[in-house]
A = this chain, B = another copy of it.
C-alpha cells in the first residue's frame, strides 16, 4: 500500500535555503517565472519571479544545450546552478546556471510590462488583464498587505474569546430590507443575497457571546464611485455583555494595533516594496457626530447641508481636521442620528434622537460602521412598529430576543476600503482582486 505522510521533499531548493550561507558555492535548483531577461552578450541575467520575491540568475552563453535565445519572458522554468555571492544582485546572491528545464511556454508576448517598477497602465486595463497585471511585484504586494489585515482580525479575535462563524449568503430576505438587495430565484422561491451577516451574528451572540465572520457581502447599490463595490469582503464582529458601546470601539482599536504589529513583524518585505508608512494607532480620538459637523463647518467655513448624515466631502474634512489638530489618521465619529441608523440600533437613553453608534474614519473615509444593538425584545418590536416595518420574515431573528439576549453590539469593516486607505490608493478597485461594480462582472 502506498501512503502519504505529509512530509513532501521538494525537488527544488526553498527560499530560506537560498538566503542562507550554507548553500553558497554549492548547487541549487530554483523554480520560477521568467520575470525579465537582460542579455549582455556574453552573459544574460534572467530574473526569476517567485512568491517570495525576485531572484537573479545568470546564464553564460557558452553553456551547452541552453541558450538565452530559448528563453522568453513569462516562461516558467526550473534552473540548476551554483549559488554565488554577488553584492550587486538583490539579496546579495545569484545563481550561475548550469542547466535549464522549461516547465511551460507562453504563446503570446506580454500585454503589459509587468517587470517595470510601476505599471503605467490605466486602472481599466489593469482590471481587464488582472491575471497578468498582478504579476507586477508591487501590484501583488498590495494583496499581501490585505492578507495581513484579515489575518490579524481573526487572530486578534481568537485571542479575545470570539468564535468564528459562517453564515448563509442566500436567504429569504435581507437584514436591512430595502431596495439594495440582489434578488434571485432559489428553486422557484424568491431569495436574496446577504447585504450583511447582521441578523445571524446577533443571533449567534446568544450562543457564543462573541462571534466574528470574514466573508462576502452583496449590495445592489446604484453607486459608481471610487469608494463603492457591489460585492466586498466584510470583517464582522459582534460581542455580548458589553459594558458600553465604547467597548466595541476599544476592541477595534486593539485590532488595528495588532494588525500594524503583524504587518511590521511578518510583512516587512511588502511594506518596504510599497514604501508604506503605517499609521499610529496607539490611541484614536472620538468625537460626537454633531460636534464633528460643527468643527469642520467652522474651521473650513462650510455650511452644514444635511444634519442627519455625513457627506463624503464632510468625512474627508473631518479626517483632515483630526490629522491637522491631533495628528491622527483615524477618528471615531459617535452618536449618529437615529433616523439614519437601522432599526436595531440602540438609541442613546440620554438623547434618543441619537444612537449609541459609531463610524471609524481612516484618512477621511468611513471604513467601519458599528454600535450597540437593542437587546430587549419589547423595545425592538416597538421600534419596528414605530418605523412602520413588518416583522414578517424576521420571526427567527426576533425569536432569539424572545428567549433572552445579552446587551451587545458589533461592527463591520470594509476590507477593501481599509486596504485602500492604508495603501493610499485613490480607488477601492485597486484594493480588490476582482472588483464588482455596476459595469464590471468580469473577469
A interface residue numbers (CB < 8 A to B): 1-8, 10-12, 15, 31-34, 50-52, 74-76, 78, 103-108, 110-111, 128-132, 134-135, 140, 143-144, 146-147, 150-151, 154, 158, 161, 163-172, 182-187, 189, 191, 193, 200, 203-204, 206-210, 215-216, 218, 220, 222, 230-231, 233, 240-241, 243, 246-247, 249-251, 253-254, 256-257, 281-287, 326, 332, 375-378, 395-397, 399-400, 402-407, 415, 432-436, 438-439, 441-443
- Cross-chain contact B400 with A132 (CB below 8 angstroms): yes
Whole-angstrom CA separation of A147 from B143 in the bound complex = 24
- Cross-chain contact B3 with A285 (CB below 8 angstroms): yes
Whole-angstrom CA separation of A252 from B124 in the bound complex = 38
| 9 interchain residue pairs of minimum CB distance | A396-B443, A74-B404, A6-B254, A184-B184, A6-B253, A51-B209, A8-B250, A131-B400, A131-B203
Secondary structure of the A contact surface, majority rule: mixed
Closest to A187 in B: B438
- Cross-chain contact B6 with A208 (CB below 8 angstroms): no
- Cross-chain contact A132 with B166 (CB below 8 angstroms): no
Whole-angstrom CA separation of A6 from B256 in the bound complex = 9
Closest to A158 in B: B151
Task: Tell me the minimal C-beta distance from A167 to chain B in angstroms.
Answer: 6
Closest to A199 in B: B443
Cross-interface CB contact of A147 among B6, B50, B163, B406, cutoff 8 Å: B163
